[in-house]
Chain A
Amino acid sequence: MEPIKTEIGKIYKSESGRVLASLIRILGDLDLAEEALQDAFYKALEKWPKEGIPKNPYSWLVSAGKFKAIDSIRRLGRGKELFPEKLSLEKEDLDGDFIDPQDWENILIEDDQLRLIFYCCHPLIPLDSRIALSLKEVCGMSTDEIAQAYLVSFETIKKRISRAKALIKEKKIPYEIPSKAEVTRRTDAVLHVIYLIYNEGYSASSGEVHIRRELTEEAIFLSRKLVELSSSPESLGLLALLLLQESRRESRVTKNGDLIPLENQDRSLWDKKLIREGVQLIQHAVMSGRLGPYTLQAAIASVHTLADSVQNTQWNLIIGYYDMLLTINTSPVVELNRAIAVGMHEGPEAGLAIIQRLLKNKELDSYHIIYSAQAELLKRLGRKKEAIKAYKQALELVHQEPEERYLKKQLSKILN
């Protein structure tokens, strides 16, 4: 591909979310904004190779999208129906000469992204549709990618998205950041979706790449904005969790994209600044009273980031946090993670006993991690044949290439 096209591709990845969020505000219609976004990029592909990339691609794309949309509204004679008054909301409306117009623009863009996620996570939209719509609109994932991430069919995701869009129209859901009193009530849904966005980016559930930077960055950005809006214990806890996970990012994969397990990670690569901020946020969250699942998960992550090796990790603290997490909500995945910690603290047999019980209850029997954890513990106990069987079961269920390569490597190590 020509270098300029690669460059435009990169700009698409980094700017399309912000451009879309602003176009929805300006045009007042989700479908119209999506179309305008596509049109704007077509225009960019046509113009930029000749004229060069503009200094501020975001502004260029927003105005290109806006003009294209106005054009098609006029052409279709749908002016009365779709021409929103909001079209006039421009910089000149924003009074005060104290703030630099560039700053204003930045504030507006940032607010647009927050507006967009509250819009997509409105309580009137069912949870599965909220998630699908947010991943599509906030993160720019394709319907196909979302379907793969959630192991459901393309049609199912398409339905969820169109149901959400229909509800937005039907219930006239406003494109706005809710008032302070409302924010508290609606934060949980937003936190949940931000958490899922981050996880999808941190450990993409399918495909060739393990970490998708655009998604992790977007999630952290949104999480920060949410903390600015309301410092509820769990918004602080979520931001702490994301920052602590993020601090280890550089050490988790090799240059070729292979996974590096925790015990082999180069801890000097862990980002100390992010760790410090994360740990402080946990303190703040705890001091705000009421402990929630994000804060507890952050506390678990903090124990790892503060240890100098797997052996010197305070596994007893980690087990304690998992126990607290289980008192808030029982989840087999949490129990599995606790089993892994127990395996480190009390020995492989104790961990294995929990995993066998979970498998017996058949709750996680299609989750590859339970088999790879089982294999790991069996290997440590020298039960080679059973470990091989468990690795093979994990391999049958894994959907993600780097994880598959990692499991294959472990299997071939044990076979030789």
Chain B
Amino acid sequence: MQFFIYFTMTEGAPMAPPSPEGMAKMGKFMEESFNSGRIVATGRLPREVTNVQLDQGKFSVSDGPFIEGKELIPGFTVISVDSKQEAVEWVKELRECMGDGILKMAQLSATSKEDLKG
């Protein structure tokens, strides 16, 4: 099962820089998690997205905001684990590297290539 883990920030509010110790710990933790195959992907969601719209056979492509409102998602990670408990443990460890604050996790119900084989 896969979990989408992310944190939010409010637009305009400054984000505190991570402590050097936390940063070092986090770098190491993430690298290990990459190597063990637990991390599927990690990244940040941009503020702007491109809308591809089909309207009666005619395409239009335009830029627009990703989410309306002031919440931003500066960082996310998708992990692949065997249980929700395992995911919580992983997230705890990541949050410790980052310091005080919230990390949110949502289970992804996604269909993958493997599922189609069954």
Contact = CB atoms under 8 A, between A and B. Distances in A.
B75 A306 contact: no
Interface in B18-33: 18-21, 23-24, 26-33
Interface residues of B, number: 28
Interface of A: 98, 231, 272, 276, 279-284, 286-291, 299, 302-303, 306, 314, 317, 320-321, 323-324
Given A281-B44, A284-B44, A320 B21 contact: yes
Given A279-B17, A306-B17, A320-B20, A286 B26 contact: yes
Contact of A299 (B17, B34, B42, B59): B17
Contacts of B32: 289
Contacts of A306: 14-17
A287 B30 CA distance: 6
Given A98-B59, A288-B30, A283 B44 contact: yes
Given A284-B42, A324-B23, 18 more contacts: A231-B43, A276-B15, A279-B17, A280-B44, A280-B72, A281-B44, A283-B18, A284-B43, A286-B23, A287-B77, A289-B27, A289-B31, A290-B27, A299-B17, A306-B16, A314-B17, A317-B17, A317-B19
A323 B34 CA distance: 25
A347 B23 CA distance: 26
Contacts of A314: 17
A281 B23 CA distance: 14
Contact of A291 (B19, B24, B44): B24
Contacts of A302: 17
Given A291-B23, A299-B23, A324-B24, A286 B18 contact: yes
A270 to B, nearest CB: 11
Contact of A286 (B12, B30, B43, B72): B30
Nearest to B23: A286
Nearest to B19: A317
A290 to B, nearest CB: 5
Contacts of B30: 286-289
Contacts of A284: 42-44, 74-75
A195 to B, nearest CB: 20
Given A283-B75, A289-B27, A289-B31, A323 B44 contact: no
Nearest to B33: A289
A281 B15 CA distance: 12
Closest 6 CB pairs of A and B: A320-B20, A289-B31, A289-B30, A291-B27, A280-B74, A284-B44
Contact of B20 (A98, A283, A324): A324
Contact of B27 (A272, A280, A286, A303): A286
A286 B44 CA distance: 11
Interface centre among B12, B24, B31 (most CB of A within 10 A): B24
Contact of A287 (B14, B17, B42): B42
A320 B19 contact: yes
A274 to B, nearest CB: 13
23 contacts: A231-B43, A279-B15, A280-B15, A280-B72, A280-B75, A281-B44, A282-B17, A284-B44, A284-B74, A284-B75, A286-B18, A286-B23, A286-B26, A287-B42, A287-B43, A288-B30, A289-B29, A290-B27, A299-B20, A302-B17, A306-B14, A320-B19, A324-B24
